[in-house]
């Protein structure tokens, strides 16, 4: 029996997966495209068959499928924050180096 959430969420996941394939033609790497298609289709499968999440949770020693989904999302959020922090930090280092180099060049030329 399909519920209202499944009726809305499953087609949305499939549409997002198709958009990931279409974005592949606009310069997104194959690796990124495959990742997003896998992610959206996995979400669609778990939404369509919630017992799969419960089965996987029991296999991993976690009580409920909802808990497994929560743990995976929390872990993914931590990885995402770490990724963006390091990306921001690298950008700060590059900008600092550029400003330092420009300041030295300006000082050598006698500019202010």
Contact of 44 with 12, CB cutoff 8 Å: no
Count how many residues are written for the chain: 112
What's the pLDDT band for 25 if we cut at 50, 70, 90? confident
Please indicate, yes or no, whether the overall pTM of this predicted structure exceeds 0.95.
no
Q: 24: which residues sit within 8 A by CB, 6+ positions away?
A: 30, 33
105 in Cβ contact with 97 (< 8 Å)? no
CB 63 within 8 A of CB 57: yes
**Which residue bears the tokens 């029996």?**
1
- pLDDT > 70: percent of the chain: 98
pLDDT, mean of residues 64-75: 93
Q: pLDDT tens, 27-51? A: 778 888 899 999 999 999 999 999 9
Is the CB of residue 48 less than 8 Å from the CB of residue 6? Answer: yes
Q: Per the structure block, which two tokens stand in for 66?
A: 């909802």
pLDDT band (50, 70, 90) for residue 112: low
Q: Tokens 């669609």 correspond to what residue?
A: 44
């Amino acid at each position: 029996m399909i519920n209202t959430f499944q009726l809305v969420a499953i087609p949305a996941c499939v549409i997002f997966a198709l958009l990931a394939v279409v974005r592949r033609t606009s310069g997104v790497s194959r690796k990124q495209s495959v990742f997003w298609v896998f992610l959206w289709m996995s979400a669609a499968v778990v939404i369509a068959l919630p017992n799969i999440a419960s089965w996987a949770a029991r296999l991993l020693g976690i009580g409920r499928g909802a808990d497994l989904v929560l743990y995976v999302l929390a872990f993914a959020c931590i990885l995402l924050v770490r990724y963006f922090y390091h990306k921001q930090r690298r950008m700060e280092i590059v900008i600092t180096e550029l400003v330092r180099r420009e300041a030295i060049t300006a000082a050598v030329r006698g500019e202010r």
